[in-house]
Amino acid sequence: MSTAWPALREELDLLAGPVLPDGQPSWTLHDPVRNLFFQLDWASFEVFKRWHFGAAEAIVQDVNAQTTLTLHQEDVNALFQFAQRNDLLEPLPNSAGTLAERWQSRRSSWMQWLLHNYLFFRVPLIKPDRWLTRWAPRLDFLFSRTFAWITLLALCAGLWGVSRAWGVFTATLVDSLTWQGLAAYGLTLGFVKVLHELGHGLTAKRFGCRVPTMGVAFLVLWPVAYTDTNEVWKLTRRDQRLKVAGAGIATELIIAAWALLAWVWLPEGAPKSMAFLLATTTWVSTLVINASPFMRFDGYFLLSDFLQMPNLHSRAFALARWDMRERLFKLGEPPPEFFSNAKRRGLILFAWATWIYRLVLFLGIAALVYHFFVKALGILLFLVEIVWFIAKPVWSEISAWSSRWPQIVRSRRARWSAVGAFVLVALCWLPMPAPIRTEGMLQSSDIWPLHALDASQLQQQILGNADTITLDAPVFVLNSPALKAAQAQNDAQRIQYSQQIAAAGFDSELRRDWQVLQERQLQAATQQQAVETEASRYRLNASGAGVLRDVDPDLRSGDWLARNELLGRVVGRDRLEVLAYVQEEDVQRISTGDSAIFIADAGVGPVLDLRVRSVDQDASRTLSEAALSSAAGGMIQVRSMQSTLYPERPVYRVVLDVVTPLEADTDFQHRWRGKVAIRGRWEAAASQFVKTATSVFWREAGF
């Protein structure tokens, strides 16, 4: 490019910048119309300094002659294109048509505009510069060493006070986990974020920077407060830019320290509750959200200024993409930037950590968007999230590979990478012995409960808890007042009839009724047998051999018992089984006869070999084993309605027989919860993923 080009815009400001990490000076180019800043290195500054030469050749010759730099015409042409793309040049005469075409090409369609504003947009609310100019000198004490030491002492005093009332503090935290408490947390968080942004603004104003706007930015419709502190790029000292970037986090930590002390000293009431919210909300939110360098929040700008690397994300991403291509294809391309080996590895790891963090975050946001909107709109917004944040970057990298296809085809490393990718895909589709893991209840197949009959009284407990019982062995002897009364009445009638029959030989009237008395005596005898039979039912015997369990240790002779009250269970030791539930995607892999293993929870029970006896073909409508539910610490998510547990997801009941007998000295109890691993049919990981994804799609689609 040997012809003249447009001059630089006259309103641009050129400011001195900080020294770069490699020792060269820097300058900051400020566009006051758009309030944009561009950092220039030494070479770029020398080119812009000679911009009035009007030709790349003349600029290159003068720079090479007057400085120790060595530039080429391509370097100057690249800087010209940079200035043209960023509208840093004066328009040429008769260039209105060209500018209109460029503006039209930059305009997006209404769909792209809507998409961009759904993903991110800002709403300026106030212009705080005049207010900050008036108040910044009055609040200068907040930046003093004295205030910092006093705040540190307040934090130590607050921590000491909380340690002495730790039980009350944690109880307050639990009590606040209600809808009203969460609403209060939301309001408190909004108030703190306003102070957070004021911290940025006051610090920037203290260093002489203008703060034009403050407002709310919406990231995927999620509100985030922001403050325009772009003018910090005018600052030549790195420590000042670091203080502005970290002012918001420091503000929230200061609020948390003083709120903690206030919670310790304030009496019960609304002020103490507010202090608690400030003490627990501020430091958690600022460390989890604002201090993260993986999104463009305070932590990112702190790290960027600390490393003296503007546009840290884009530069790290470019370096990581280059490193990935070199590892996969070994194209021999120069890196986008040259760093020391340690710094280059750190930037690459940072880029991968950011990608993984954003992948998890955007998938979570997409899922929330899907669930919180109408299904049709939720699906559309879910796809927008996936396409924009995940598919688009992947497609961009694939396009970069496509443009390098001739070099990739000739690369030996690329062929080895292709072989590795093929092996990896093959392994994903190769059936592997993946066990089906779930939870189960080990219990006896033979359990005989012992229940009280009607309203009765315990007369004698013959055997105790954990005693070994043989078949038909007596366990409990009960008394029934009604049965006793019936037996006494029947005994009195039998005696009366016997006496009357004996006296019939001396009494003519009784002799006449002798036949009737004989029949009544026979009825009384029959009734006596019935009473004795009923009395035998109050002698509770074991219906099988086993171990007596679940006997109330407080049960004593003479205690009154309710009808059908459980007194204990006789648990057989000979036949054991495990009841387990498996998910819908795993049930097809299980067949009768498959082997399995049971390991009791906490390792306090037996480890047994199992074999599948039966698998239900229909999903269980209710969960009868409450110990396996999430409410009891189990793995099955349930909802409770009228004391009945209903699984949230389809689960199938599997019954397994115990192959390994219990050792004779095992402290046997009739139920153990534990982990179950079933050696089902081999299945490929990719096949399982496809089936799960298909199942979720069909379920959510309503088919």
Q: What is the per-residue DSSP string for 16-73? A: E-PPPTTS---EEEEETTTTEEEEE-HHHHHHHHTGGG-SHHHHHHHHHHHSS----H
Nearest CA-CA partner of 291 in 423, 196, 188: 196
* Signed CA dihedral, 457, 463, 468, 471: sign only: negative
| 231/236 Cα distance (integer angstroms) | 11
Amino acid, single-letter form, for residue 131? W
Q: Can you read off the two tokens belonging to residue 535?
A: 């009395």
Q: Tens of pLDDT along 127-178? A: 898 899 988 888 888 888 999 999 999 999 988 988 888 777 776 655 555 6
Q: Tens of pLDDT along 40-87? A: 888 888 888 888 888 888 888 888 888 888 888 888 888 888 888 887
Amino acid, single-letter form, for residue 453? L
Q: Which residue has the tokens 């996969």?
A: 328
Q: Which residues of the chain have pLDDT under 70?
A: 1-4, 92-120, 171-182, 220-221, 369-381, 385, 483, 491, 494-518, 521, 524, 530-536, 603, 662-670, 693, 695-703
Instruction: Please list, in sequence order, all residues whose beta carbon lies within 8 angstroms of the beta carbon of residue 585, skipping any fewer than 6 positions away.
Output: 688, 691, 692, 695
Q: Can you read off the two tokens belonging to residue 522?
A: 């026979």
Nearest CA-CA partner of 445 in 546, 540, 541, 542: 546
Half-sphere exposure of 225 (CA within 13 A, CB side): 18
The per-type count for the chain, helices as H runs and strands as E runs, is 23, 22
| 173/170 Cα distance (integer angstroms) | 5
| 247/260 Cα distance (integer angstroms) | 20
| 473/469 Cα distance (integer angstroms) | 6
| 476/562 Cα distance (integer angstroms) | 15
Q: Are 281 and 185 in contact (CB under 8 A)?
A: yes
Residue 702 confidence (pLDDT): 56
Backbone angles phi, psi at 641, to 5 degrees: -140, 115
| 421/520 Cα distance (integer angstroms) | 98
Residue 500 confidence (pLDDT): 62
Residue 304 confidence (pLDDT): 86
Q: Is 189 exposed, middle or buried (0-12, 13-18, 19+ CB in 10 A)?
A: middle
| 444/575 Cα distance (integer angstroms) | 6
Instruction: Please list, in sequence order, all residues whose beta carbon lies within 8 angstroms of the beta carbon of residue 137, skipping any fewer than 6 positions away.
Output: none
Coil, helix or strand at residue 524:
helix
CB atoms within 10 A of CB 340: 9
Which neighbouring-strand residues pair with 492?
none
| 582/619 Cα distance (integer angstroms) | 10
The four Cα atoms 268, 272, 273, 276 give a dihedral, to 10 degrees, of -130
SS (H, E, C) 389-450: HHHHHHHHHHHHHHHCHHHHHHCHHHHHHHHHHHHHHHHHHCCECCCEEEEEEEEECCEEEE
Backbone angles phi, psi at 277, to 5 degrees: -60, -45
| 200/173 Cα distance (integer angstroms) | 30
Q: Can you read off the two tokens belonging to residue 236?
A: 């030549």
| 87/93 Cα distance (integer angstroms) | 15
